[in-house]
Amino acid sequence: MPQSQSQTTAEAYTTLHEWLRQVSDHTARKYEVYRRLFGRGRVSMNHTGDQKVWPIKFTLPETRGYSGGQVSFPESDKHRQFSLAPQAVYCSDGMDMLTQYRNRGDAALVKRKDEIAGDIRESLQRTMNEAIYYDYADHPLFPAGVESFLTETTPAVGDRVALPNDDYGGFATDLQTLGGTWSDTLTVQPNTSLGYDWPLGKGTTPSDTKFDATSPFLFNVTSTAWSAGTNNVEDNLEEVISTGARWMGLTRGQMGVPDICVLAPDYYGIYENIQRAKSTINVPHAPGQDVGFRGFNQGGVLVMEEYGVPASTGYLLNTKTAELDCWTPQLFVPFFNQFELRSLSTLWLALFYGQFGWQPHNTGKIYPYAAS
């Protein structure tokens, strides 16, 4: 908050940092994905170095049959590392001395100086929440959001999943980037051009978790292969959320099951209408009630709308395995009420410096990839 004339420099510094700490807390409560990251201890501070590095376990030791004789002990190679550079985001404002003299007292219909700190807070909160859904290719100076690894090869209208075709953290997101094979026994496969049953079926050996270790799940909500047999979002959306969450857990186990599905407002409106049309009473998802979140509990997954999600899009996210690392001691660092002599201006700035860390194989996207 701006320093008053009666405050000492030390008091102003303490007040500023307490205010920014409260801003961080408010961000964690105002937006549900952030709320979960903070609540699960997935946000950490004071990192160092020029890269955020985090591991993926892409395979398991091979299980072998035994018929006597010597036992083999090959050293397992189970891990790879994603890496991304941290990114800095700031919001700033300024007010020159002459304007400050004019914009005070009864003549000031809007006391602009009194609003600067709050406006910076609101701007950073909204921007950082939007950044969750950014594509790094379109926003290269911002933290890499989930769209940074969700580019696809366009599927046919009869395909329930699209094939990943992107790069993230030093790896391609294509299936089999790290090797492995998959079963191919289904008559109708989720993607007809793939030649494998994925994400149904199974790896052909116990170690073939590497088949999709760097790959997200891309669900085609306008596929005619869903139960309704139509390409209408209204007919398929609920099934896609339910089946998508189940398929993600099928290949990844319990740690792969998403805990939240965030929908764009147009899709959430469709989903809400689906629930309203049912004769059963749907109980709102309890964890969000205390801070006013609207949503539904579908098989343990919170389904809700959130600001920043692109139109006609939904995301199945596992916030238990996502991360936000900050190179600073708190989420936003303040540099407020700084007087700059050359311009005779008072300056305000708040800074974020850090990076998201996503696990693509624990992330799903819902999108109308092929409508006709």
pLDDT greater at residue 196 or residue 15? 196
C-alpha 321/C-alpha 333 separation (Å) is 26
pLDDT at 27: 56
**pLDDT over threshold 70, residue 58:** no
pLDDT greater at residue 163 or residue 18? 163
Range of 61-75, 96-110, 117-131, 289-303 with top mean pLDDT: 117-131
pLDDT at 305: 95
Residue 168: strand pairing partners: 171
Q: How many other C-beta atoms lie within 10 A of the C-beta of residue 153? A: 15
At 238-293, the pLDDT tens digits run 999 999 999 999 887 777 899 999 999 999 999 999 998 875 555 555 555 544 56
**pLDDT over threshold 50, residue 183:** yes
Ranges of H-type helices in the chain: 9-30, 32-39, 97-102, 112-131, 233-252, 265-276
At 344-369, the pLDDT tens digits run 998 989 999 999 999 999 999 999 99
How far apart, in Å, do the first and last CA atoms of the chain sit? 54
Compute the mean pLDDT over every residue in the chain, rounded to the nearest whole number. 86
- pLDDT level of residue 200 (50, 70, 90 thresholds): very high
Which segments within 129-254 are labelled E, that is strand?
152-153, 161-164, 167-168, 171-172, 217-220
Mean pLDDT, rounded, for 154-163: 96
At 279-331, the pLDDT tens digits run 555 555 555 554 456 789 998 999 999 989 999 999 999 999 999 999 999 89
| Cα 301 to the center of its chain, rounded Å | 15
- DSSP three-state, residue 270: helix
C-alpha 196/C-alpha 218 separation (Å) is 15
pLDDT greater at residue 98 or residue 226? 226
| Cα 36 to the center of its chain, rounded Å | 11
